[in-house]
A and B are shown apart, each in its own frame.
Chain A
C-alpha cells in the first residue's frame, strides 16, 4: 500500500501534519535525548530540510559511474526531491543538471537510463547537449515571410537548465546545488572514507540490477535506522537466528566528527555459541541455536576485503547508503518525498572479473536486502509503523537515552550516540 492509499488517518488529517512556518519550533529542553515528532511530520520543517540540506552545502549521491560508462550514457536521478539528469559527454566528463526544460518547465528526460547524442524535450523539441546546454530551438527565427520566432536578443546560453556541481570519487558520482560546498573528500571525512574505499577504491563495479520502492516514512528515519545498532539484534531475527550478528560479537558504530555520516560495522563471529552468553540469549527473543538453513551456502562469507569487518552499512548524508553485508553489495539512494514518504532506489552490484560462482553467491546473499530482503523488508515495515505512530499520536517526542548523552562513535550495540550526533548537526543546520 502506497502512502497515497491510506484510508484510515490520512496524512494531513492530524494536527502534527498541519504545523507550518508560523509555529515556533522549539526543541525539547532535554536536548538530544528527546526528538520532537515534528521533525518527521511538519511540512514546514520538510521544506526547510530541502532548502538547507538537500539543496544546501551537501554532496548528494546521483549515480555510479558503472551506470553511465560510455559517452552519451545518461540516467534520470534526483537531488533531494529534485529531478536531475546525469550524463556523460563525448569527452568523458560527467554532468548533472535539472531535468526541466527551460521553455515551459517540462521534465523532459523520461527514460530511466539510455544513450543519446542530445536530449530533446518532447513538447516543443528544444534540445540540450550532454553538458546540459540549451542547443536547438525549432523555428527560433520564425517562418520566413510569415514571422514569429524568438526575439532577436534571446541568447540560448542564458537559458540553460540549472547545472549542479559534480564530484566523483572511486566511481561514485555526487552533485551539489552549492558552488561553495567543501571538497568531497573533506566532506566524507577520513573516518568514513576508510570503509567507503574498501568497497569502491580500485575496483570496477558491475551493476547486477535495480529495485525501487516507496517507503511511507520520513527520510531521516532511514539514517537513524542505520545509526541504531540496537535494533539489529532485536528486529532482525534472521541475523540472530543464523548467527550473523549477535549481541557480544565484535561491532562498532562509527560517526564522522560532524555527526552526519556513519558506519555501522560488524564482524561475523566464526563460532556464534562462543560469543553469546546466557544472559544475552535470554534478552534476544530471536536467538535459537536449533535453527538451521537447508541451504547453508547462503551464510558463507568469502573474505575478499582488506577489512576487519564482514558488514559495513554506511550512511552518507543526506541521501546515500552503502551496503556491504558479507558479499552482497549495493547502494540505496534516498529520495525524500514529503514529510511522510521517501523513495528508495537500490542498485546492486558486484565487481568486474567476478567468477560466475562469485556472482551467484552475491545474488543469493542479496536475499538479505532490498524490499523483499530478510532484513530489508523488516526495516521498511518498522519505519512505516514509526511514521504512523509519530503522526497519529498525542505524545510529541521520542526517547534517545541509550548510552546516556554521549555523541559519536561507540563500540557497544546498545547505544544511540550516533543518532544524537546526527541530530546535533541537524539542529545546527536547521537552526532548531
Chain B
C-alpha cells in the first residue's frame, strides 16, 4: 500500500457522495486525455501539484524516481507542451479505464482516494494492448467548489514497459 492511503473511518454518506464526485472527475480527466485535448490536462491540477508516474517496485521501496515527475502545474504544462510540439513518436490512441474508487480519508477540504486504472494503447498498425495496469493514489482539494488534484501518484504494476509511455496516465 502506498503510504498515507490506508483506509480511515470516513462517514459512509459523505464517502458515497465524494466517490460519485471523484468518479465524475476521473471520467472528465480520462476524456480529456483519450480525446487528445492535452492542453486541458494541466487544468485538473492545483498550481503546486505533484504528479508522478512510477513503477510499483519504486513505490514499494520508497524510491522517489518518476517515469514522469512534475512538482508544479507549470511542469505539467511543459510536459503537455513538449508532447504536442516537440516529441516524435508513432501515432497512437489511448483509453483509460478507472475503477474501484475508494475514498480513504477526508480532512476538511482535502480528500485522499485510491483507484485502479487500466491503460489500453492502440498503435495504428498493431493490436490494442493493455499498456499499463496501475493504481492512482490521489490527494484532491476543493478549490472554488471544484475538485483539483494536489498530488497524483500513478503507480504501475507493468514494470516492463512496451517500448515507451508517450501520453500521461
Binding site for B on A (CB under 8 A): 1-2, 5-8, 112, 207-216, 235, 237-238, 241, 286, 291, 293-295, 298, 343, 348, 359-360, 363-364, 366-367, 370-372, 374, 376-378, 380-382, 384-385
A interface SS class = mixed
Minimum Cβ distance to chain A for residue B53 (Å): 7
Q: Specify which chain A residues have a CB less than 8 angstroms from the CB of B166 in the assembled complex.
A: 372, 377
A343–B88 alpha-carbon span in the complex (Å)? 21
Q: Verify if B7 is at the interface (C-beta below 8 Å from A).
A: no
Which among B57-65, B102-110, B141-149 touches the partner chain? B57-65
Give the 9 A-B residue pairs with the shortest CB-CB distance, closest first.
A209-B65, A295-B74, A209-B63, A294-B74, A237-B86, A213-B161, A377-B164, A209-B58, A208-B65
A216 to B164 CA separation, bound complex (whole angstroms): 11
Interface residues on B, range: 35 or more
- Residues of A near B90 (CB, < 8 A) are 381, 384-385
A360 to nearest B CB, angstroms? 6
Instruction: List B contacts of A360 (CB < 8 A).
Output: 71
How near does chain A come to B120, taking the closest CB pair, in angstroms?
A: 11
- Contact pick for A366, options B65, B126, B159, B161, CB 8 Å: B65
The reply to whether A372 and B165 form a contact with Cβ atoms under 8 Å apart is yes
Q: Tell me whether B88 and A378 are in contact (CB under 8 A).
A: yes
Which chain B residue lies CB-closest to A360?
Answer: B71
B164 cross-chain contacts in A, Cβ below 8 A: 213, 371-372, 376-377, 380-381
Output the nearest chain B residue to A217 by Cβ-Cβ distance. Answer: B163
Q: Which of A207, A211, A295 contacts B161, CB < 8 Å?
A: A211
**Given contact pairs A1-B123, A364-B71, A366-B69, A371 touches B161 in the complex (Cβ within 8 A):** yes
CB contact under 8 A between A359 and B64, given known A1-B123, A235-B88, A366-B69: yes
Cα-based distance from A294 to B70 in the complex (angstroms): 12
User: Is the pair A1, B89 in contact by a Cβ cutoff of 8 Å?
Assistant: no
- The reply to whether the CB of B87 lies closer than 8 angstroms to some CB of chain A is yes
How far does the alpha carbon of A5 sit from the alpha carbon of B127 in the complex, in Å? 7
Q: Which residue of B has the minimal Cβ distance to A363? A: B69
16 further interface pairs, Cβ-Cβ under 8 Å (given A2-B129, A209-B63): A1-B129, A5-B126, A5-B127, A208-B63, A208-B65, A210-B58, A211-B65, A216-B163, A293-B78, A294-B74, A360-B71, A371-B67, A371-B163, A371-B165, A374-B86, A381-B163
Instruction: Give min CB distance, B119 to chain A, whole Å.
Output: 12
Given contacts A212-B55, A363-B64, contact A378 B87 (CB under 8 A): yes
Complex Cα spacing A67 to B57, Å: 13
Cross-chain contact A8 with B125 (CB below 8 angstroms): yes
Q: Which of B54, B55, B87, B159 is in CB contact (< 8 Å) with A374?
A: B87
Give the residue of A8, A298, A359, A380 whose beta carbon is less than 8 angstroms from that of B78. A298
B86 touches A8 (CB 8 A): no
The chain B residue sitting closest to A209, CB to CB, is: B65
B112 within 8 A of A: no
Given the contacts A1-B123, A295-B74, A370-B67, A209 and B55 also touching, CB distance less than 8 Å: yes
Q: How far is the CA of A207 from the CA of B90 in the complex (A)?
A: 32
- The reply to whether B86 and A372 contact each other, CB–CB distance below 8 Å, is no
In the bound complex, residues from chain B placing their C-beta under 8 Å from that of A8 are: 125-126
CB of B72 closer than 8 Å to a CB of A: yes
Question: When the two chains form the complex, which single residue of A2, A367, A385 contacts B68, counting CB atoms closer than 8 Å?
Answer: A367
**Across the interface, which residues of B come within 8 angstroms of A372, CB to CB?**
53, 67-68, 164-166
CB of B75 within 8 A of chain A?
A: yes
**Nearest residue, chain B, Cβ from A112:** B57
Query: What are 26 sample pairs from A and B whose C-beta atoms fall under 8 A apart?
Result: A1-B123, A1-B127, A2-B162, A6-B126, A7-B127, A209-B58, A209-B63, A211-B67, A213-B162, A238-B86, A286-B86, A294-B74, A294-B75, A294-B78, A294-B81, A295-B72, A295-B74, A295-B75, A363-B64, A367-B66, A367-B70, A371-B67, A371-B164, A377-B89, A381-B164, A384-B163
Does B77 lie at the interface of the complex (its beta carbon under 8 Å from any beta carbon of A)? yes
Known contacts A2-B162, A343-B160, A360-B71: does B64 contact A291 (CB below 8 Å)? no
Contacts of B114 in A (CB 8 A): none
Cα distance A233–B54 in the bound complex, in angstroms: 29
Contact residues, B112-169 vs A (CB, 8 A):
121, 123, 125-127, 129, 159-166
Query: Is B10 an interface position by the 8 A CB rule?
Result: no
Interface 0/1 of B85-100, CB less than 8 Å to A: 1111110000000000
* Chain B residues, Cβ within 8 Å of A293: 74, 78, 81
Residues of B contacting A215 with CB < 8 Å? 163
Q: Is the CB of B65 within 8 A of A7?
A: no
- Known contacts A1-B129, A343-B160; decide if A210 and B63 are in contact (CB<8 Å): yes
Q: How far is the CB of A397 from chain B (nearest CB, A)?
A: 24
By a CB distance below 8 angstroms, the chain B residues around A376 are 164
A371: chain B residues within 8 A (beta carbon): 67, 161, 163-165
